[in-house]
Structure 1
Amino acid sequence: MAEDFGNALTRAIEASGLSLERIQHHLARRGAQVSVSTLSYWRRGRSRPERPESLRVVKLLEEVLAVDDLLGSLGPKRPRGRWTEQTAERELTLEGIWDVQADGLNELMLKVDHLEPTPVTYLTWRDVMTVGPDGREVEFRSSGVLRADEDGIDRFLAIQRADEEDRSVGTISAQGACRVGRVRTEEEHGFLIAEVLFDRMLRAGDTALVDYRIASNPGGISSVTDRRFLRGARDYVLQVNFHPDAVPVRCYRFRQGTSQDPPTDVRDLWLGTTHSAHLVVHDTGPGIIGIRWEWE
């Protein structure tokens, strides 16, 4: 029986003695751009290469690692379900949800010990964005329950990207049963990445409560907010609270498989007397879920 791709890649990497960062460097010299997180996901079996560009990377990996059996270990393509059919070929890793900006994000993640998104499951999650009287974002509040998928989890990485016109990426704070660890920023693409530390070390199956706030530093009028899921959530709520002096004329929900896909599931949202709109999604799957609004 043929060895599966993840195991074959792991064996080849270990035999080469190269780190993922060095492998990424060798691939880049050969004209192939791939992130450290993608290589790690392939190695661990959390995603697999299927696009033509990804298969080219695998062929170059055979050259870099001096092996000739990686492509053969891929086997047939995975079966596709309704949501998977839209997203699996794009391998929802950092590139899928952040597109070209992922290069800056990966460089930033190299500055933090935990280079990959933490293996946790979002059980319930709620995001609340507040828009001020001038139509600009005031803050983004996130809270929920995470479950560890592996032993030894004591944190997860919160990733935020500012809009192009924002003056800075803002600041992050936490409360309750978590606290903020190290924070790194990347100004070119406007990324903020922060360790949110749990109040204890988790074993697989343990849960943790998370509650953090990002205070914004906007430079322009806000018109969209979203959450980008690598692995999805069981229950997700996204809410936007508008100031009474800044209520949009239209508000609607959307979702995307990746940042390059056209919006789907576009539906108008009701803005009630509280000047608030929200959506609720169960079993989100990977991808982007958001709310947009129009001022005129």
Structure 2
Amino acid sequence: MALAKAVEASGLSLERIQRHLELRGVQVSQSTLSYWRRGRSRPERPESLHAVAVLEEILKLQPGTLTGSLGDKRPRGRWVERAAALEGIWQEAAVDLGRAINRVDRLLASPAKYISLRDVVVIGSDRREIEMRTSSVIEAFEDGVDRLLVAKVAEDTDLSTGDIVAKRSCRVGRVRRDDEHNLLVAEIILDRVLRAGDTALVDLRMIADPGADSASADRTFIRNLRDYVLEVEFHPDAVPVRCYSFTRSEKGAPEVETGDLWIGTTASAHLVVHEAQAGSVHGIKWEWE
């Protein structure tokens, strides 16, 4: 994008650029500048177009260098930002997920990564999954991060995609369901706007709607992750006879058992993964009989 290249060539931070704009009587937030630079939104209002013209002066560009690259206006109500950070979903569902996101008006994915992640899957007395509680720490790549996308993929035997509930430091924004592809996409809004390097806690509950006994829990990693913990809590009246961990190095790769897991007196088992690699799958399976 022309603006991104111009900012990089100038050596100016977004904070300095914003300050130069203010000195010229133009008010634009750093988050807006960040979205313009990454192409996640575009200036269209008259005041925004004026700001772009002033940016050309600040960045020492020929008049029209930026304004001439904007092109035609996007159709209102149908344009959606491309999701750039889809964390913790089935990689093979990413294409279908994109179709679901394209039905959402201006739903933004956050430029952030997970530093640590813990999933707790709860199995009820009927041997079916009740929910997965997810606690994570995210770190912003750049300024202006105030939300992230979360996708929930239902099993073929599930009655529906279930639901997503936010806890404490965040809240659920817009939610869209794609029943054809068993997908639920939710906008998770943070309690503050993050700058580059800032961290935030995100606690969610993924409510399940199973139609059959549950036999596994796992996660596919789109990006590398330093620390991951997966725990499965079984109801005292529904404890499996065997529980073991497994992994796959990439999509379509053969599944490899990595060892039996002890089910303790609390009727739970857990798996710890250090340095999970992008594309890999780590999970727990169990046998009822």
TM-score bracket for the superposition, by shorter chain length: 0.5 to 0.7
Aligned pairs, number: 214
Taking the aligned partners of 2:116 and 2:234, their CA distance within structure 1 comes to 24
CA contact (8 A) 2:90 2:219 kept: no
Partner residue in 1 for 2:260: 268
Check if 1:284 corresponds to 2:282: no
CA contact (8 A) 1:173 1:214 kept: yes
Partner residue in 1 for 2:49: none
How far does residue 114 in structure 1 lie from its aligned partner after superposition?
3.9
Choose which of 186, 201, 212 in structure 2 pairs with 1:194. Answer: 186
Choose which of 220, 226, 249 in structure 1 pairs with 2:241. Answer: 249
How far does residue 180 in structure 1 lie from its aligned partner after superposition?
0.6
| Bigger helix share | 1
CA contact (8 A) 2:146 2:192 kept: yes
Taking the aligned partners of 2:224 and 2:193, their CA distance within structure 1 comes to 23
Please list every run of 5 or more consecutive structure 1 residues that lacks an aligned counterpart in the other structure: 1-9, 20-35, 42-92
Partner residue in 2 for 1:125: 117
CA contact (8 A) 2:108 2:147 kept: no
Taking the aligned partners of 1:155 and 1:255, their CA distance within structure 2 comes to 30
Identity of aligned residues (%): 48
Q: Which amino acid aligns with 2:203?
A: D
Q: Which amino acid aligns with 2:195?
A: R
CA deviation profile, 1:221-250 (whole Å, cap 9, x unmatched):
101111222113221110000011111111
Taking the aligned partners of 1:170 and 1:236, their CA distance within structure 2 comes to 24
Taking the aligned partners of 1:202 and 1:16, their CA distance within structure 2 comes to 27
Query: Counterpart of 1:236 in 2: which secondary structure?
Result: strand
Check if 1:294 corresponds to 2:287: yes
CA deviation profile, 1:72-110 (whole Å, cap 9, x unmatched):
xxxxxxxxxxxxxxxxxxxxx89x9432x4332110021
Taking the aligned partners of 1:124 and 1:254, their CA distance within structure 2 comes to 20
CA contact (8 A) 2:173 2:187 kept: yes
Partner residue in 2 for 1:146: 138
Partner residue in 2 for 1:98: 91
CA contact (8 A) 1:97 1:259 kept: no
Structure 1 residues 243 and 203 mapped into 2: Cα distance closer, same or farther (>3 Å)?
Answer: same
TM-score (norm 1): 0.66
Structure 1 residues 15 and 268 mapped into 2: Cα distance closer, same or farther (>3 Å)?
Answer: farther
How far does residue 15 in structure 1 lie from its aligned partner after superposition?
8.0
Taking the aligned partners of 1:181 and 1:259, their CA distance within structure 2 comes to 31
Structure 1 residues 218 and 97 mapped into 2: Cα distance closer, same or farther (>3 Å)?
Answer: closer
Please, what is the CA RMSD of the aligned residues? 2.8
Structure 1 residues 209 and 165 mapped into 2: Cα distance closer, same or farther (>3 Å)?
Answer: same
Partner residue in 2 for 1:76: none
CA contact (8 A) 2:148 2:189 kept: yes
CA contact (8 A) 2:145 2:194 kept: yes
Q: Which has the larger radius of gyration?
A: 2
Query: Counterpart of 1:188 in 2: which secondary structure?
Result: helix
TM-score (norm 2): 0.67
